Amino acid sequence: MSIKLLSLSKNEDFKTLITGKKISNKYLTIFFKNLSDKSNKNLNISFVTQKKLGNAVKRNRVKRRLKAIMKNINKISKINLNYSYLLIAKKNIIDGEFFDIKETIIKDYKKIK
């Protein structure tokens, strides 16, 4: 059974998540926090790419890659569904190899318990 990826939609959810815990690496920053009104059956995750990363084509490519990585990680490892996640991309992610980004994110998600 695959777990569905749900995006956060409310501004207050984003503000609450930014006050939570965070893990940073050279590709992105992961904010995570337990949001009381979210379901534990789905993965609540949002991807943020800032304008300074590049034009819309580059930003959308980064989001597509991150979504593909998260779907892939979902199949092979256990992600804590009690948390909601916010992934903010950094400039290095544009030039990063898919496999390197994936391995870095897997390593970070193993730190979250």
CATH class of 5-111: alpha beta
Domain ranges of the chain: 5-111
Distance CA 91, CA 81 (A): 28
Per-residue model confidence as pLDDT tens digits over 30-60:
999 988 777 777 888 999 999 999 999 999 9
Mean pLDDT of 3-26: 88
Strand partners, 22: 31
Residue 112 pLDDT: 85
Token pair 């790419």 is found at: 49
pTM over 0.75: yes
Residue 74 pLDDT: 84
